[in-house]
Amino acid sequence: MKAIMIGLAATALAAQPAAGHPQSAHPPASHPTKASAAVSEADVAAVKAVLARYQAAIERLDPRGTEQLFAADSAIFESGGSEGNYAHYLAHHLTPELGEFKSFRYGNYKVDVGFLGPDAALATETYTYRIETKKGEVAERLGVATSVLKKEDGRWKIVMSHNSARRPNMP
């Protein structure tokens, strides 16, 4: 059961913060718009900061405070499953999984941010990650995440997050 949980965790946690576009036959998706007059570089930086704060919490293995990064009506999707809103995901999935890890490290992180309007952003992240469990098991994966963020009361929050991962191609 724990081995299954670790496997699911590795796949699931690959969702947030992603690094560079992993080797793939598919080019990265393009976003609706880049920063325009209605969307400032400050908005681009603010969206990236939300994603970076989440990634840093995962690497610290301490998700406390991350609920502030998500809208109350958020939806989390991970590797083919619906995890509910972030509060449910945090309590029933993320916190227990992080408790089983010795370390979680992202690498090759790249993010692309586009805007659907002045208060709606779409971010795609690509990355690698390495998880080591307290039992010494290691999982290395290529990950990708897509997040939709909205500006609420002047602050960007994640409304929807979908992530997936796969094993890297071995030579």
- 8-state DSSP, 132: E
In the chain, where does DSSP find H-type helix? 2-13, 41-60, 86-89, 95-98
pLDDT at residue 89, as a whole number: 98
3-state SS class at 45: helix
Instruction: Give the phi and the psi of residue 134 in degrees, each rounded to 5.
Output: -65, -20
According to CATH, the topology of domain 2-166 is: Nuclear Transport Factor 2; Chain: A, (3.10.450)
Q: Which residue has the tokens 């908005």?
A: 43
Q: What is the pTM of this model?
A: 0.80
- 8-state DSSP, 30: P
Instruction: Give the phi and the psi of residue 168 in degrees, each rounded to 5.
Output: -70, 155
pLDDT at residue 4, as a whole number: 32
Per-residue pLDDT reduced to its tens digit, 67-94: 999 999 999 999 889 999 999 999 999 9
Q: Are 143 and 163 in contact (CB under 8 A)?
A: yes
Q: Which residue has the tokens 């994603």?
A: 51
Q: Tell me the mean pLDDT per 10 residues along the chain, length 171.
A: 37 40 42 59 97 98 98 96 97 97 98 97 98 98 98 97 92 63
- 8-state DSSP, 19: B
pLDDT at residue 126, as a whole number: 98
Q: Are 79 and 89 in contact (CB under 8 A)?
A: no
Q: Are 17 and 125 in contact (CB under 8 A)?
A: yes
For the chain, domain boundaries: 2-166
Q: Among candidates 81, 103, 62, which has minimal Cα distance to 15?
A: 81
